[in-house]
Amino acid sequence: MFTVEKRGNLYILTLTGNNEHRLNPTLISSIRSSLSQIKSQSLASKTPSALITTADGKFFSNGYDIAWVNSSSNPKLAEKIMDSQLQALIAELISFPMPTIAAINGHASAAGFILAMAHDFVLMRKERGYLYMSEVNIGLVIPPWFVAVMKCKIGGGWEGMRKVALMAEKVTAERGKREIGVVDEVFEGAAATVEGAVKLGEELVKRGWDGVVYGENRKVLLKEVLDLIGNNQGLGLNYDDLVIKFKPRLKRGSLGLSPKNMSIMFL
């Protein structure tokens, strides 16, 4: 479950609950739907805005929902659908017409790390959590489009990429800022991290940028990522169209969100 709070010209999306916030098509699809609403509202108001993404508990996101994949009668198709949905979400964040900030409260692993890096600014809690690409440790090959995101966001050249992708180092907030340049600011505690994101968001809003222009410039900077996503045929997979075809053994929404239990708050 997640909530969306509107605080002035800031939209704060919070993954709620004391769980790992695993990414499955139900959750991703619901987030995309909310982002579409935020985008429409922001463009209609014609006022500068900013998006903050954060989470409750020990995890920002622990990556793909492997249990959701393994519960389906066709795990390979389920995995493709899940990856397709995340690609679409990342593409939407890249084109999103406002600055985006990830306020990382805890661990961000694999696909969860990619989700964090898809934001323009990354703030992270100091005393808990790490950034971690687990693929080499669990015998998986990192998807090329993940690597494209990493190349665009991770500093330190080959050394930085080697630490993250080949050594699977669990990077703390301070190391994320000092060694690989992924983390912009470090804070004590989850609440302070979110408040830091709010302060940054308010400063960005004051710049008065045209959100559409901002998003177009971001698309230019991350063209390599968008090109890979656009060339991936899996992006055409639609969860709603295919959910019946692969017949997951778990009821839809049992490990994630359904539109009915999504909480949206506009204050």
The predicted-structure confidence for 184-194, as pLDDT tens digits, reads as follows: 999 999 999 99
What pTM value is reported for the model?
A: 0.88
Instruction: Kindly state the average pLDDT of the residues 102-129.
Output: 97
CATH code for the structural domain at 2-266: 3.90.226.10
The predicted-structure confidence for 222-231, as pLDDT tens digits, reads as follows: 999 999 998 7
CB neighbours (10 Å) of residue 141?
9
Quick one: DSSP state of residue 137? G
3-state secondary structure labels for all residues of 200-265: HHHHHHHCCCCHHHHHHHHHHHCHHHHHHHHHCHHHHCCHHHHHHHHCCCCCCCCCCCCHHHCEEE
Nearest CA to 13 out of 21, 4, 22 is that of 4
pLDDT of residue 232: 66
pLDDT of residue 231: 75
List the domain boundaries for the chain. Answer: 2-266
Instruction: Kindly state the average pLDDT of the residues 47-70.
Output: 97
Residue 256's pLDDT band (boundaries 50, 70, 90)? very low
